[in-house]
Amino acid sequence: MAALLSVENVTRRFGGVVALDGVSFDVPAGEIVGLIGPNGAGKTTAFNVITRLYRPDEGRIVFDGHDLLRTPVHRVVKRGVARTFQNVALWPTLSVLDNVKIGAQARRGVRSAEELLEYVGLSGLAHRPAAGLPFGTLKRVELARALASGPQLLLLDEPAGGLNHEEVGELGRFIQQLRADFDATVLLVEHHMNLVMGISDRVYVLNFGRLISGGTPQEVQRDPAVIEAYLGDASAAA
Ligand SMILES: Nc1ncnc2c1ncn2[C@@H]1O[C@H](COP(=O)(O)OP(=O)(O)OP(=O)(O)O)[C@@H](O)[C@H]1O
Ligand SMILES: [Mg+2]
């Protein structure tokens, strides 16, 4: 069966930096796929080219049979791709609820913004402005906003940011549950190895813009190229 998302030979440069260097990987429908790598490896850039924030210099991205690079930016969500941002991108003066409603504007999911806030455990904060809420809470608001568009593919950029050890464990179970509840496919960028390895069906590894490994969590963890890439990388400690 064809993959839901195919990234094919994608290159993206920023001046002299090759953020993505001929990267190819597939995300099969229904899977949780981890995308890992040391800081600066190109993970967020991969999300930015998939969501059309950045145009790749070379390569193709096919989503659900459509050439995403020919899809206007504003139609990417309509096609069924939604994301959260590493550093959170919410409207600070809008309420939590209104931020979630924005997700339904491009494409409406099955559940209302109110239901989604309840799903992520934030009903009590619906009418609070987003500004000033803790980072981990804002990441949950973003997740609800992404779900509001009823995505087929959910891109999560470091969803465990701002969470303590116990909360990271809960997040893993939560992501597995939402895959089932929303019939979604998940592409997950995370530095928390226990989380990624614990819930991913397959994992791809980037290092300096190149895809250096891919396979089951067990295969990737044993891969000498991966171990070498992470040696001395403090962000992998968790
Ligand atoms: N808009 C940009 N302008 C210039 N350089 C950029 C830009 N975006 C990314 N880069 C560079 O591309 C490389 C990959 O960055 P990217 O943010 O994709 O890494 P990452 O894997 O997400 O890292 P982290 O784990 O720290 O979030 C880095 O060298 C970064 O400085
Ligand atoms: Mg990043």
- Whether residue 224 is contained in a domain is answered as yes
Q: How far apart are CA 22 and CA 10, in angstroms?
A: 5
- Whether residue 226 is contained in a domain is answered as yes
Boundaries of domain holding 235: 1-80+153-158+185-238
pLDDT in the model for residue 233: 60
Q: Choose which residue among 45, 48, 50, 196 to substitute to test ligand 1 binding: the one with the highest number of ligand atoms within 8 A of its C-beta.
A: 45
Exposed / middle / buried, residue 62 (Cβ in 10 Å: 0-12, 13-18, 19+)? middle
pLDDT digits (tens, 9 = 90+) for 95-121: 999 999 998 887 788 899 999 999 999
Q: Choose which residue among 21, 44, 157 to substitute to test ligand 1 binding: the one with the highest number of ligand atoms within 8 A of its C-beta.
A: 44
| Summary mean pLDDT of the chain | 93
- Whether residue 12 is contained in a domain is answered as yes
Residue 238 has pLDDT above 50, yes or no: no
**CATH code of the domain in which 237 resides:** 3.40.50.300
* Residue whose CA is at the smallest distance from ligand 1 atom 12: 19
- Whether residue 172 is contained in a domain is answered as no
- Whether residue 144 is contained in a domain is answered as no
- Whether residue 18 is contained in a domain is answered as yes
- Whether residue 98 is contained in a domain is answered as no
Determine whether the shortest distance from the Cβ of 45 to ligand 1 is under 6 A.
Answer: yes
pLDDT in the model for residue 52: 93
Q: How many domains does the chain have?
A: 1
pTM for the model stands at 0.94
CA 45-51-55 angle, to 5 degrees, is 65
